[in-house]
Each structure stands twice: as C-alpha cells, then as structure tokens.
C-alpha cells in the first residue's frame, strides 16, 4: 500500500505525467463546450424576410441575430420610401446560423445618372448580372438568341423600357432595367406543322439565374 501511495507522490515523475494528461483533457473539454456555445454549433434558424423593411432600422439595431450590410449601389424606386429593402442574400426561408452576414439591396428616392457598362462581347450572363447590380441597374428580360460563336455570352444590350440598343458609356438613369440577349447553341430546325421551321427567341426569367 505504501508503494502505491509513494507512486503517486508529487515528488515522483508519474504523478506529474498523469496530472498533465488530466489537465490537458480538462482544457480540451472546456474549449469544446465554449466553442459549441460560441458558434451555436448545430443550431440553425430560418432566415426571415426583411423585404420592404427600413434599412436604417436594421443597420442600427443591435438586437438582431444577423449582421446587415448594404449590397452594391441603392436602386432608384420612386414608389417606395428611401432605404427600403428590395432584395436580400441569403433569401427568406434559407436555414442559416446566428450571426450570419445578410447583404441587403435598398432603394433611393433620387435617381442618379450613371454610365451604361459594357456587357456584350465576352461576358457571361451571370457576370453581367453582377455588373448591373454593382452599377445600380437591374436585369430585365433575358432573351436567348442562336449563335455559333458566342454561346453563353451576352451579345446584345437594350433599354427595357424602349427596347432600343444602348451603347456602353451612355448616360442612363440609375435603377433602369436592361434587356440582354444571350447566345445559345443553334437548335435543330423543327417543323411547325405548316411546312416551315419553328424558330423563335426564348425569354428567360431573370430570377432563375444562379448567382
């Protein structure tokens, strides 16, 4: 018995080894509990809809479970109060963790004049959408046009309101919608039942474009 007690004596090396192991295990246990609490591990909530809310209230609120950040330039919309949220990322209904950054697009009551960016040429539709948003413009109708050399690329840009082509550098009101033509692989001619080929441009819903 005395040998057993002497083995765990603070003066012996085995005592210090066992003590170091126990303290290490205790440290990692406490660290794991703290990290689990800090990161809300495994706890997700459904993203609420902030559409139509005041951005000033969201940005000033310190009690929200999320961090808000204005995304790009405000979009002109005279039908809504200035600072109204008209888009958010993540979208409403998505499962996210507490503390997630939420990017919001807001409105402005004053329409600024900006220069139309160059979109047609060698830019993809997804990239063009980002450029429009960063410029303060909106993506309007997307039309698929058969092309042998520019498949997947923007090949035409137009003002949605007039349908007329718009060149890069043209002064345009912020918030306007831009219609884009995108090249797609030529389709095999299909008989329309009247002896002719059925060929027509196809419109694409802009909201279905993946970011």
pLDDT tens digit string along 5-15? 555 555 556 66
Choose one of 72, 91, 108: the last residue of a domain.
108
Check residue 103 and give its pLDDT: 93
Q: Which range, of 25-29, 91-95, 133-137, 158-162, averages the lowest pLDDT?
A: 25-29
Instruction: Please tell me the predicted confidence (pLDDT) of residue 198.
Output: 42
Question: Across all residues in the chain, what is the average pLDDT?
Answer: 81
Q: Taking residues 203-208, what's their average pLDDT?
A: 62
Short-list 179, 172, 162, 68, CA closest to 119: 179
* Same-domain pairing of 48 and 91: yes
Supply φ then ψ for residue 126, to 5 degrees: -65, -40
What is d(CA 89, CA 206) in angstroms, rounded to the nearest whole number? 16
Instruction: With a cut of 70, say whether residue 135 has pLDDT above it.
Output: yes
User: Does 201 share its domain with 155?
Assistant: yes
Angle at 134 between CA 132 and CA 140, to 5 degrees: 25
Nearest to 73 by CA among 128, 130, 158: 130
pLDDT tens across 47-64, in order?
Answer: 999 999 999 998 887 667
Q: Are 6 and 53 in the same domain?
A: no
Same domain, 97 and 28: no
The pLDDT score that the predictor gives to residue 201 is 59
pTM: 0.48
**Residue 166: which CATH number?**
3.30.10.20
* pLDDT of res. 22: 81
Q: Quick one: 135 and 193 in the same domain?
A: yes
For the cut 60, the answer to whether the pLDDT of residue 160 exceeds it is yes
pLDDT digits (tens, 9 = 90+) for 166-186: 999 999 988 899 999 999 998
Cβ 35 vs Cβ 41: under 8 Å: yes
Question: Cα dihedral sign for 37, 43, 47, 53?
Answer: negative
**Which pLDDT band, with edges at 50, 70 and 90, does 84 fall under?**
very high
Burial class from Cβ neighbours inside 10 Å (0-12, 13-18, 19+) for residue 88 reads buried
Q: Whole domain around residue 99: which residue ranges? A: 44-108
pLDDT at 36 over 90: no
């Amino acid at each position: 018995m005395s040998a057993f007690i002497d083995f765990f004596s603070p003066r012996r090396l085995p005592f210090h080894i066992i003590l170091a192991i126990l303290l290490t295990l205790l440290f990692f246990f406490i660290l794991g509990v703290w990290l689990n609490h800090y990161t809300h591990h495994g706890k997700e909530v459904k993203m609420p809809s902030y559409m139509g809310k005041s951005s000033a209230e969201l940005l000033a609120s310190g009690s929200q479970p999320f961090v808000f950040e204005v995304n790009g330039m405000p979009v002109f919309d005279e039908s809504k109060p200035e600072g109204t949220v008209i888009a958010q990322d993540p979208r409403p209904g998505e499962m996210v963790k507490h503390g997630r950054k939420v990017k919001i697009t807001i409105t402005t009551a004053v329409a600024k004049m900006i220069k139309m960016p160059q979109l047609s040429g060698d830019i993809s539709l997804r990239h063009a959408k980002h450029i429009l948003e960063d410029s303060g413009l909106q993506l309007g109708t997307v039309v698929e046009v058969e092309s042998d050399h520019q498949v997947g690329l923007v090949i035409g840009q137009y003002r949605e309101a007039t349908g007329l082509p718009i060149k890069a550098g043209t002064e345009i009101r912020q918030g306007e919608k831009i219609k884009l033509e995108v090249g797609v692989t030529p389709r095999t001619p299909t008989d329309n039942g009247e002896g002719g080929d059925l060929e027509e441009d196809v419109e694409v819903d802009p909201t279905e474009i993946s970011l």
